[in-house]
Amino acid sequence: MDIYHTIVRPLVTEKGTHQSQQSYGATKTRPARGGAYAFEVHPDARKPQIREAIETIYNVKVASVRTAVRSGKRRRYRFTYGQTRSWKKAIVVLKPDYHIDLF
């Protein structure tokens, strides 16, 4: 899969904007980390592919990647029921010295 097809779009939400501005210093038990950014990714993308795509496209260093598959919701249209599409979300945590200017 091409790295430019791995990342579908950034998710710019109120929660995502708040998480991108939060960074933490190192403690005894936890290493330092930068902000966390949310992206919609291709459903077949794996964590190493997401990491490589973010590092290449945005020229940053990724500390960790968390993923979640969001199932589609049931919706009614006139007299029939359907379902919205399922999609995959990735939360990318950057190393302390990096940030993405989108958010």
The 10s digit of each residue's pLDDT in 28-42 is 888 888 899 999 999
Which residues are CB-neighbours of 45 under 8 A, at least 6 positions away? 1, 6, 53, 88, 90
Q: Are 93 and 62 in contact (CB under 8 A)?
A: yes
Give the predicted TM-score (pTM) of the model. 0.88
The 10s digit of each residue's pLDDT in 18-71 is 888 888 888 888 888 889 999 999 999 999 999 999 999 999 999 999 999 999
DSSP state of 29: S
Percentages helix, strand, coil for the chain (3-state, rounded to 5) are: 25, 35, 40
pLDDT of 103 > 70? The answer is: no
